[in-house]
């Protein structure tokens, strides 16, 4: 059987937008974690700005290890939780995956995910790390939610 063009007949058809979330340290190295879902700037970028917009908050987020979803109110069994927040892989019983340390920006951006976030100089910065994109390695604006 050929799998070229194969589309499963059973929904849901879900694909992740993967990202890497990091903080720049004093020596310019970057400590980061992987995040599986919703990595695009309109969601993860906005949530980072809204909920983790200080060095201490960003560092605490990264200390938790690799993340399935940055901001959700769903548990692993898809029931609704009383509060929203990060869903770490360890919360489903996975082994803790320690943050990764890259010695510089170039090494950090060669991560294989679609977007890379860095908290540096007291703000979040986003890079397009989709190697197939015309905007590869360019900085991307993070939309900020406007409340009325």
pTM (predicted TM-score): 0.86
At 11 the pLDDT is 47
Confidence of residue 2 (pLDDT cuts 50, 70, 90): very low
Q: What is the mean pLDDT of the chain?
A: 89
At 7 the pLDDT is 42
Nearest to 39 by CA among 77, 68, 2: 68
- Beta strands 19-24 and 115-120: pairing type? parallel
DSSP string computed for 32-86: EEEE-S--SIIIIIHHHHHH--SHHHHHHHHHT-SEEEEEEEE-TTSPEEEEEEE
For residue 124, pLDDT over 90 is answered with yes
pLDDT average, residue stretch 129-147: 87
For residue 4, pLDDT over 90 is answered with no
The more confidently predicted of residues 66 and 8 is 66
Confidence of residue 12 (pLDDT cuts 50, 70, 90): low
At 16 the pLDDT is 82
For residue 141, pLDDT over 70 is answered with yes
For residue 71, pLDDT over 90 is answered with yes
How do residues 45-65 score in pLDDT, each as one tens digit?
A: 999 999 999 999 999 999 999
């Amino acid at each position: 059987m050929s799998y070229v063009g194969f589309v499963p007949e059973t929904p849901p058809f879900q694909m992740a937008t993967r990202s890497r979330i990091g903080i720049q340290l004093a020596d310019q190295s970057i400590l980061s974690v992987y995040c599986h879902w919703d990595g695009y700037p309109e969601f993860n970028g906005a949530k980072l700005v809204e909920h983790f917009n200080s060095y201490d908050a960003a560092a605490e987020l990264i200390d938790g290890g690799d993340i399935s979803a940055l901001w959700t109110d769903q548990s692993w069994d898809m029931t609704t939780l009383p509060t929203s927040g990060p869903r770490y892989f360890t919360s489903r019983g996975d082994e803790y995956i320690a943050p990764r340390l890259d010695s510089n920006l170039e090494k950090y951006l060669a991560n294989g995910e679609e977007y890379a976030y860095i908290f540096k100089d007291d703000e979040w910065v986003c890079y397009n790390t989709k190697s197939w994109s015309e905007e590869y390695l360019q900085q991307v604006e993070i939309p900020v939610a406007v409340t009325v």
